[in-house]
Amino acid sequence: MPSLPALPALAAGHGRAVLLDADGVISPLKPGMVARAVGATIPLAIHAPATLKRLGNPAIQLLDLLELFAFVHPAQSLAPTPAGFARALELPVPHSLESAAQALPEMAALLLNRLEAGKNTPANRDAAGLAARMGQAGWLWAPYVLHALGQPDARPDGMAMRLWKRLPKWEEVAPRPPPSSFAVAPAEARARLASLLGPAAEQRPAQADFCSAVTGAFAPREAEGSPQVVLAEAGTGTGKTMGYLAPASLWAERNKGAVWVSTYTRHLQRQIEQEASRLPPGTSVVLRKGRENYLCLLNFEDAMNAETRAIPLGLIARWAAASADGDLFGGDLPGWFAELYGQGLLASIADRRGECIHAACPHFSTCVIERVIRDARQADLVIANHALVMAQAVWGGLDDDNVPTRYVFD
């Protein structure tokens, strides 16, 4: 286990704080007393901006455990509180400021221990050079991270920031043939729903009835230009999402085609994606959003020129290499990242509407946006928002073979 020198720890509430000094002595403090009590030391804390705000923004530095977590566990999240950390790290949950302050050193040691255990994995191949580069820009965790990686004297490596060198290249795949038009019978949809929910699930007759009703939308068209439309409504708690995912997945499986599920917000997209995790193994589910939601590698490269951004961009480089889809604003980048470094940073490295140069971009072959687009072309279920679905329908209107034939608007 990497040696972690005795560090002070600071836990702040509303109107009061607790400081654990390097000798293990706990001192309750009023906000105005914190700067003098801390002195020249740098205490551990969770969510430095929020902690400092609660204390009246004293002129002190903090070792933010959120930064260490983002480096050690990229593309994972937790609640940015002592209790959230404890649950994520499977430690006893602190129930007071005193116990929270006492827990912070153990949390830091555990994260560094995990980093040490994985130092030889492919994911950490460039971690030392990246941490040294971030340390060059003033990252307070750099010496501890380098020690955990077994490379305390590692030199800063600007190449480690060039994440496009590590991202896999996407490949063009032949378009899928047009789907078949085999129907889904109500009884089949009910059986699929029952198998997805499992024998221990609560019996909800209304959900099964809803599932049967929506199968009409998956029947073959009786005439060109006359789609089968079903308007189905059910009360809150019925289980509508699984009610339509059951026949939708069955239709996609049987007809080798895609069903597009369209909803309004990112949050609803994620909810549907979570429900879709129950679908049979091998069912391909892809989340689609507008381009402005995703990391742009060219904008990231431009942002690297600013020394003041080296620390957050280093963490973004770690995240992007582990991310499922490169979604900056609703994917696996923790929501608190923007609270630490500002929403403007994320906006500056996201794709901006109308600016993409597509195939002329030097990073086109590793572009996360292009990868998601191609994944969606081969998917069984695509979960998108209404605006994108409507735009896709218009853009694909000149080629009927590329237009989805089954939609669910939720």
Q: What is the pLDDT of residues 108-149, one digit of tens each?
A: 999 999 999 999 999 999 999 999 999 999 999 999 999 999
Number of domains the chain contains: 4
β-bridge partners, 63:
44
Beta strands in 86-157 (DSSP E): none
Q: Are residues 271 and 241 in contact, defined by beta-carbon separation less than 8 angstroms?
A: yes
Claim to verify: residue 244 and residue 208 sit in the same structural domain: yes
241 and 271 together in one domain? no
Residues 290 and 360 occupy one common structural domain = yes
Same domain, 100 and 125: no
19-28 long-range contacts, CB within 8 A, separation 24+: 19/43, 19/101, 20/101, 20/102, 20/104, 20/105, 26/98, 26/101, 26/102, 28/97, 28/98
- Asked if 241 and 139 sit in the same domain, the reply is no
- Domain check: are 281 and 137 in the same one? no
CATH number at residue 77: 3.30.420.10
Same domain for 230 and 191, yes or no, is yes
- CB neighbour class for 26 (10 Å; exposed up to 12, middle 13-18, buried from 19): middle
- pLDDT, tens digit, for every residue of 381-409? 999 999 888 887 777 644 455 678 899 99
Residues 24 and 63 in one domain: yes
Q: Which two tokens stand for residue 193?
A: 């729903």
- Domain boundary (203, 238, 255) is at 255
Query: Which pTM does this prediction carry?
Result: 0.89
Backbone dihedral region of 7: left (phi > 0), alpha (psi from -120 to 50 degrees) or beta? beta
**pLDDT tens across 258-279, in order?**
999 999 988 899 999 999 999 9
Same domain, 11 and 63: yes
Same domain, 322 and 268: yes
- Same domain? For 230 and 187 the reply is yes
Q: Of 236, 255, 274, which marks where a domain is finished?
A: 255
Domain that holds residue 141: 121-158
Which residues sit opposite 386 in a β-bridge?
none
Q: How high is the pLDDT of residue 3? A: 56
Looking at the structure, tell me whether residues 138 and 193 fall in a common domain.
no
Three-class SS state of 44: strand
